[in-house]
Structure 1
């Protein structure tokens, strides 16, 4: 398992859609057009960690436990670090959606706590049986407004109460306890979406600190068209590091390499005014964004810049509709072109210098 003294600056990729893409004929190649295994391409190009999401019982089966085991084994075979992201849902869990799995909908709060504990432990025991344990676990995904609504909901004036925060924290604590019951060395990340919002970040982590939630890594999403400027991100990272003394990972981010939209597709980011000034929607602009982002993370005070994960760099538009009912809207935010050929923006990872961060993974 993990070497707790190992120093690694995380250059990670979330490739949760990889399995579905491969199963339906999608493929990847290096810049020379030679088809290769995606994880091999990533490793050759300086990626050292992979993040996967897991859903309880998703439509189509992708990102469930069975498929997660198969992909996790491949990650381990490549010698890459592995972060597992529990959504505790049958579909997307994010600031707008934190709905319970269908099988848990009628559980009481106490039953829900036990379900979180049992499910988390069962997943990890299964991975352990296949020599595919993660090095780190997220207990929830972008849980700024809570999770497992409505029992663990804290977003909005109606739910932002001391009682609700205690219930939310109680659910998270059961998840953390389950992780530690399987392997005490697995590190715990608590992930919110407010990369450029210091006030909301402090509010969240102050609450968790006061409620005694014990975790190892702060995880933040930072998408500039939603979360502000790079300066706002830098200021937030510095303040959180000084305030809490924990390593911080920008665990979701992305930037476009084009605004070109193939016929019948509408990107989630498709307007010039959604871009950061000085960072065009081009391979060069994407490369510059990544270099500057990584520099900001490396400069976090106290050596607490843990690294980053690029969200779905390989989600190419290889099929029209995805198993969870999601349209193609991310293909210009990848690090591969529409045909799956690697972009030159991976050079940003090659220039990332070793950090002094003790990352615990």
Structure 2
């Protein structure tokens, strides 16, 4: 039987998640049990595996249009992209009954696109040396490209 993933945004917002999945439950297609916090609540309430499929952390985010980020304790820097994602992975792994199944980084090549939800300059895992442009551009991986290592 194929697995189905239901993708909704703002996974941190338990009220939104409960309302959305509650409406789905009302169709009679989902069983419900009790739960407590966002991922744990959804996993426990519906007995279905949960994934975080859109998470990222900026490497650069400053200037007049920089948004307030969801966790001011995590610095904005490529190395801190690792901290952010590894924390997410730990949270997912801690979902009771083994229902936390995965975390996906979104989008490893993301550049500023305020209209699509990000006002930060970049949350990418790669960078470029433009110093010899237009004759040569050297691309390289930031240390954060290894964010899923050892988690």
SS of residue matched to 1:306? strand
SS of residue matched to 1:286? helix
The Cα shift of 1:338 comes to 5.0
- The 3 A distance-change label for structure 1 pair 251 and 275 is closer
Q: Does 1:279 align with 2:71?
A: no
- The 3 A distance-change label for structure 1 pair 315 and 306 is same
SS of residue matched to 2:53? strand
SS of residue matched to 1:256? coil
SS of residue matched to 1:292? helix
CA distance in 2, matches of 1:246, 1:329: 33
Question: 1:81-100 maps to which residues of 2 (within 5 A)?
Answer: none
Bigger radius of gyration: 1
Gaps of 5+ in 2: 31-35, 130-138
Report if the CA contact (8 A) 2:51-2:101 is conserved: yes
Report if the CA contact (8 A) 1:316-1:338 is conserved: no
Report if the CA contact (8 A) 1:251-1:308 is conserved: yes
Higher fraction of helix:
1
Q: Does 1:256 align with 2:28?
A: no
Cα distance per residue 1:97-133 (max 9 Å; x no partner): xxxxxxxxxxxxxxxxxxxxxxxxxxxxxxxxxxxxx
- The residue that corresponds to 1:212 in the other structure is 28
- The residue that corresponds to 1:350 in the other structure is 149
CA distance in 1, matches of 2:41, 2:70: 25
Question: 1:193-212 maps to which residues of 2 (within 5 A)?
Answer: 193-212=9-28
Question: 1:50-69 maps to which residues of 2 (within 5 A)?
Answer: none
TM, length-normalised to structure 2: 0.74
SS of residue matched to 2:21? helix
TM, length-normalised to structure 1: 0.33
The Cα shift of 1:348 comes to 2.5
Gaps of 5+ in 1: 1-184, 215-233, 353-361
Question: 1:47-196 maps to which residues of 2 (within 5 A)?
Answer: 185-196=1-12
Q: CA RMSD in A?
A: 2.9
Report if the CA contact (8 A) 2:57-2:84 is conserved: yes
- The 3 A distance-change label for structure 1 pair 316 and 236 is closer
